[in-house]
Structure 1
Amino acid sequence: MKPAAVLFDMDGTLVDSESVWGDALAELAVRAGGVLSDSARLAMVGTSMARSMQLFRDDLGQPDRPEAPDVHWLTERVRELFAAGMVWRPGAMELLSAVRVAGIPTALVTSTGRSLVEVALKTLGPENFDVVVCGDEVQKPKPDPEPYVTAAALLGVPITACVAVEDSPSGVASALAAGARVLAVPAELELTPVDGVHMRTTLTGVDPAYLATLLTAV
């Protein structure tokens, strides 16, 4: 037995890009005349751009601050940082390669927008994914199940036979609600143990055979 597909989150799961987002958001806060709190930054992990910007404004005490200019500046700054090179999370590159060698379909399921994902794919390799579902291509982003349901539908496989690999509470909730088996590897945030979610500290040593065991685990 092997998974019908493996559905990978991107930020914090495959690459250490959450730190990039953190640096860019801190810079944006300074431009806005404030300082972004650690609690607000952590609350943004794994959420949509719209939710992150709402948290940003609330944290700075600027509820009426226009969103569009901030989104534009943040997107361009993150694009620059992504283009400078991205660091793989431990074991992530090896797992992705092993899944591809095993002939298992893959999807990238991320809250990040398409324009930035295209830059990230220069590191991740577009050939490594049969399907890419971005945060600005769904009606309801994570933690709603729509992103993972969409990925499985595009691959033409039952979501209940898929394994999703995630790092954040928002992403785990999305994959679990969709019906996938979930492997969680915390990065920026601690994860509370949840029934049906299998947790590891890193992806080091994870291979297709291990993912297959998740399909039969109780």
Structure 2
Amino acid sequence: MPTSPVILVFGDSNSHGTMPLSRLGAVDRHPPEARWPEVMGRALGYQVIVEGHPGRTTVHDDPIDGAHKNGVRALPVALESQRPVDLVMIMLGTNDCKARFGLRGWDIAASVGKLAQMVMASNAGPDGGAPGVMLIAPVPVKEAGVLAEMFQGGPARSRAIAPALREEAERLGLPFFDAGRVAAVDPADGVHMDAAAQVALGMALAEAVRGVLPVP
């Protein structure tokens, strides 16, 4: 009997399921039924492994929150510990929009592309091959609430990610999805999604994945 496909979600707090923050340092998390990776997995009937680390960047050591936030450092560990996986879904870039990094949308998209190429060069897929990869542009941020100063200038940076990442996905021959088409951040903190947005994103990505992986 064929096994169900396995998906690895590699993301940040919005993949972790962090709830909109009313105060800095809060660690509240949506219940599993309201986190987009779990919603997607139930809709598909696939196994979904979630590597969602709050504060994770694409390829940058965070000078305040620490080098362990760097996705380049974490991705090889996730691939080796979770293999074999059929598909790696990368949704990063939100934390790269923090004022402390001063990046452009193109820089962020190129950094996601670097992560994708690491997956494509790995042996973390079935039979020691490389997994498939899907690139997801994160929901654009707003300057709001307790995170407004941290993400000063972030809205413009984040809106530039999707078109640049679409081009990067085309260059690499990978499927692309723009999360901002189906979900939005909660205005309470301008960065995190509420439960309804998480569910909407999960259902939309289930449809997108059906075009990439076979239905079991």
TM category, shorter: 0.3 to 0.5
Report the TM-score when normalising by structure 1: 0.37
Report the TM-score when normalising by structure 2: 0.38
Q: Rg bigger for which structure?
A: 1
More helix by percentage:
1
